Amino acid sequence: MSRTLMILLWVAGACLGRAGTAEEPAVHVVAPGDTLGAIARQHEVSTRDLQRYNNLTDPHRLAVGQELRIPPGPDVPLRYEVQSGDALSVIARNHGVTTQALLELNELENPDTLRVGQTLLIPGSARATPRLSPELERQLNRIRLRNGWTHIVIHHSGTAQGSAQGMDRYHREQRRMANGLGYHFVIGNGNGMPDGEIAVGPRWIAQQDGGHLASAAQNRYAIGICLVGNFDRTHPTSRQLDQLLALVRYLQRRAGIPRDNVTTHTRINVRPTRCPGQHFPTDVFLQRL
């Protein structure tokens, strides 16, 4: 086994992200340059609440690697307008809530009677931002970012199952890519990799150009994230979407990438492509950002 694959295997096994729960508050790991005010804005809480929740006597003294517990936010419902082809179960999955929660909040007796243009209330708990695990944040914080990362591009593998190791092998042996895995990150769907597991690719560890877009110029500034799955046939899992959201928010903060520069393969590639598939909820995902 190559040294690169050994690194990738170790990181994939160690870097499983998780969201905070009611029993276990969400945690933010302080990164270089973080301020209490910026952390509070990122997590949509007040600076005062964040300071009090963590018993901080001096809000200006934060240490890199320090873990801050995030206080729960207000339980305010979101509003969603039903689109053509929508199903209640898919809307629930895309927003990280249960179908039953949507039924109860909207007083719906039959989940199959949605109307295009109908407004649904999404439980306020959907506003809770999924988090990377503290272990993964610490590992990512150790990587010294190069300058020039300006975009984040989302892909799907186009296969029902897969893994970062399998993609790396395919890119080396079939695509003849000297640096192997063309993506910087891969997120599993439970078939080949655990559902929601984030594998950090060697290109991100070494801060190398991606190999996920048709343009070499775009690969120099675009971070590539691939979700395992064929989203022309199925939908991404709720765990994949949650961990994708957590990862994208982390990368935005570390690299200073604005929301408008988070996009999908089909929207940025210089050649026509359907990636990441018709069932990837692009608009809903970008709204969650």
Q: State residue 107's pLDDT score.
A: 84
Does some domain include residue 207? yes
Total domains in the fold of the chain: 3
Quote the percentage of the chain above a pLDDT of 90.
Answer: 53
- Residue 223 predicted with pLDDT over 70: yes
| 92 against 246, higher pLDDT | 246
| 88 against 10, higher pLDDT | 88
Distance, in Å, from the CA atom of 118 to the CA atom of 282, rounded to the nearest integer, reads 20
Identify whether the C-beta of residue 166 lies closer than 8 Å to the C-beta of residue 9: no
Query: Which domain does 150 fall in, by range?
Result: 144-288
Does some domain include residue 5? no
Comparing CA positions, the residue from 45, 9, 28 lying closest to residue 133 is: 28
> What is the 3-class SS of the chain, one letter each residue?
CCHHHHHHHHHHHHCECCCCCCCCCCEEECCCCCCHHHHHHHCCCCHHHHHHHCCCCCCCCCCCCCEEECCCCCCCCEEEECCCCCCHHHHHHHHCCCHHHHHHHCCCCCCCCCCCCCEEEECHHHHCCCCCCHHHHHHHHCCCCCCCCCEEEEEECCCCCCCHHHHHHHHHHCCCCCCCCCCCEEECCCCCCCCCEEEECHHHHCCCCCCCCCCHHHHHHEEEEEECCCCCCCCCCHHHHHHHHHHHHHHHHHHCCCHHHEEEHHHHCCCCCCCCCCCCCHHHHHHHC
65 lies in the same domain as 98: no
Distance, in Å, from the CA atom of 169 to the CA atom of 164, rounded to the nearest integer, reads 9
pLDDT band at 124 (very low <50, low <70, confident <90, very high): low
Comparing CA positions, the residue from 93, 121, 95 lying closest to residue 107 is: 121
Of 4-13, 135-144, 165-174, minimum mean pLDDT range: 4-13
pLDDT band at 11 (very low <50, low <70, confident <90, very high): very low
159 lies in the same domain as 259: yes
Average pLDDT rounded to a whole number, residues 13-36: 61
Q: State residue 104's pLDDT score.
A: 82
pLDDT band at 25 (very low <50, low <70, confident <90, very high): low
| 46 against 170, higher pLDDT | 170
199 lies in the same domain as 278: yes
Q: State residue 63's pLDDT score.
A: 92
CATH number of domain containing 261:
3.40.80.10
CATH number of domain containing 119:
3.10.350.10
